[in-house]
């Protein structure tokens, strides 16, 4: 079948690419030149690297050393409540130690460019997959650019977060289902341990459908666990656990659950007078029910459906005990699934479907300036993506 190369829709999406590229470039330049980056999450990445280089990896969870390193970066006292907690798994620290050999601004630039190159290299696999299924080159490219420029992912990278690992893990998991490669799915789930509360829901529920994938995940998780303990030592591991306990605070250490995008944040905004302990209990209940429900879903299914994976990913986000805006980058995977289903079932024109991730980014961008939309759009996508995917995939 021949496809028109430059349709009206493709032209609009190319204009969208130009707009997002310009907007993101100006935002990055402003972020760096104004010094806002020194108050970003990258500050703790860099400070952990400094501590690791000077005192060794066993000291990376020492809050006194971390606080001093962050004060040096920020140029002002940060105070106990403003310390950005080094609450991420130890296996990401070697890269931080390498970056900390550079000055702060140069390290940030290397991190920023490196993340995009790494993510793009994984996206090439998806690009080749859709091309093999007859997608026009331009539409395949628009899809990949749309996923790479997905607004929550961009905000994550801009602020120096590591949610790109969550997205890459989700992308590897998605490709594993597309190409029937269990080992790749296990690697993807292993990378997603950067957010263990999300990875565990996915891994445990998938054990009922892809047992080999589960064992690959266990192997990767064990290897990462051993590597992490060897790297920081027993005392460092205990300090890591203490840091995780501090991370459960509401406003201390920058953890404001009211501005999160999970079930906790939703209940805090909808019912602010409700006791916080009750909200936490309810949301842990939601987490448990989600896990059991997804296990049943995968246990009872007979053939793979894209909407199964879509609802698993979106519910893992919604039920997560902590979910910041930048972790919504994982929604790019259900978006990609929706696009592929729509095109494969011939229910959405490829020229239109390829631009869906870019349309979603535009919606996120607009919602940044409107608090009601900012705190509504993510939930609409979490609910709407699996439902729309199911509708497209259902047997007529």
Asked if residue 348 is part of any domain, the answer here is yes
Asked if residue 3 is part of any domain, the answer here is no
pLDDT tens digits for 133-159? Answer: 999 999 999 999 999 999 999 999 999
pLDDT tens digits for 354-386? Answer: 999 999 999 999 898 887 888 999 999 999 999
Q: Is the pLDDT of residue 343 over 80?
A: yes
Mean pLDDT of 254-270: 84
Contacts by 227-235, CB closer than 8 A, 24 or more apart: 227/90, 227/91, 228/89, 228/90, 228/91, 229/90, 231/57, 231/90, 231/91, 231/93, 231/94, 232/57, 232/58, 232/60, 232/61, 232/90, 232/93, 233/57, 233/58, 235/58
What gap in Å lies between CA 267 and CA 276, rounded to an integer?
A: 10
Q: Is the pLDDT of residue 239 over 90?
A: no
- Specify the DSSP element, H or E, that contains 174: helix 163-179
Q: Is the pLDDT of residue 89 over 90?
A: no
Residues whose CB is less than 8 angstroms from the CB of residue 109 and which lie 6 or more positions away in sequence, other chains included: 32
Asked if residue 361 is part of any domain, the answer here is yes
Q: What is the pLDDT of residue 1?
A: 42
Q: Are 39 and 25 a contacting pair, CB within 8 Å?
A: no
191-200, 236-245, 288-297, 358-367: lowest mean pLDDT where?
Answer: 236-245
Q: Is the pLDDT of residue 223 over 60?
A: yes
Q: How many structural domains is the chain composed of?
A: 1
Q: Are 394 and 308 a contacting pair, CB within 8 Å?
A: no
Boundaries of domain holding 103: 8-248+257-393
pLDDT tens digits for 49-86? Answer: 888 898 988 888 888 888 788 878 766 666 545 667 77
Asked if residue 262 is part of any domain, the answer here is yes
Q: Is the pLDDT of residue 9 over 70?
A: yes
Q: What percent of the chain has pLDDT over 90?
A: 51
Q: Is the pLDDT of residue 175 over 90?
A: yes
pTM, to two decimals:
0.91
pLDDT confidence band for 202 (50 / 70 / 90): very high
Write out the two tokens for 4. 């028109």
Q: Is the pLDDT of residue 2 over 50?
A: no
């Amino acid at each position: 079948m021949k496809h028109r190369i430059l349709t009206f829709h493709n032209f609009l999406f190319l204009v969208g690419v130009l707009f997002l590229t310009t907007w993101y470039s100006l935002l990055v330049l402003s972020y760096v030149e104004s010094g806002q980056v020194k108050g970003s999450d990258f500050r703790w990445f860099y400070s952990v690297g400094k501590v690791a280089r000077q005192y060794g990896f066993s000291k990376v969870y020492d809050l006194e050393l971390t606080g001093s390193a962050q004060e040096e970066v920020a140029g002002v006292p940060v105070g106990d409540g403003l310390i950005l907690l080094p609450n991420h798994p130890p296996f990401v620290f070697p890269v931080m130690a390498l970056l900390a050999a550079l000055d702060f601004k140069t390290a940030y630039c290397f991190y920023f460019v490196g993340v995009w190159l790494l993510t793009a290299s994984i996206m090439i696999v998806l690009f080749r997959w859709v091309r093999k299924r007859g997608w026009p080159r331009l539409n395949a490219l628009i899809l990949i650019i749309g996923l790479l420029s997905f607004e929550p992912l961009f905000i994550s990278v801009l602020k120096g977060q590591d949610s790109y690992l969550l997205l890459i893990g989700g992308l590897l998991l998605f490709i594993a289902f597309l190409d029937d490669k269990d080992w790749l799915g296990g690697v993807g789930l292993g990378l997603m341990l950067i957010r263990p509360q999300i990875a565990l829901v996915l891994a445990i529920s998938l054990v009922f459908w892809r047992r080999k994938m589960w064992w690959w995940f266990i192997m990767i998780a064990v290897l990462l666990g051993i590597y992490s303990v060897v790297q920081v030592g027993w005392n460092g591991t205990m300090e890591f656990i203490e840091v995780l306990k501090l991370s459960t605070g509401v406003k201390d250490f920058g953890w404001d659950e009211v501005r999160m995008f999970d079930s906790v944040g939703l209940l805090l905004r909808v019912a602010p007078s409700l006791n916080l302990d009750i909200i936490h209990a309810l949301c842990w209940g939601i987490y448990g029910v989600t896990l059991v429900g997804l296990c049943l879903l995968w246990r009872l299914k007979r053939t793979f459906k894209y909407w199964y994976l879509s609802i698993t990913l979106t519910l893992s986000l919604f039920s997560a005990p902590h979910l910041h805006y930048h972790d919504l980058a994982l929604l790019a995977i259900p978006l990609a699934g929706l696009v592929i289903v729509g095109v494969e079932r011939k229910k959405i024109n490829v020229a239109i479907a390829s631009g869906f991730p870019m349309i979603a980014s535009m919606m996120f961008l607009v919602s940044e300036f409107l608090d009601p939309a900012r705190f509504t759009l993510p939930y609409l996508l979490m609910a709407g993506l699996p439902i729309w995917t199911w509708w497209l995939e259902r047997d007529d």
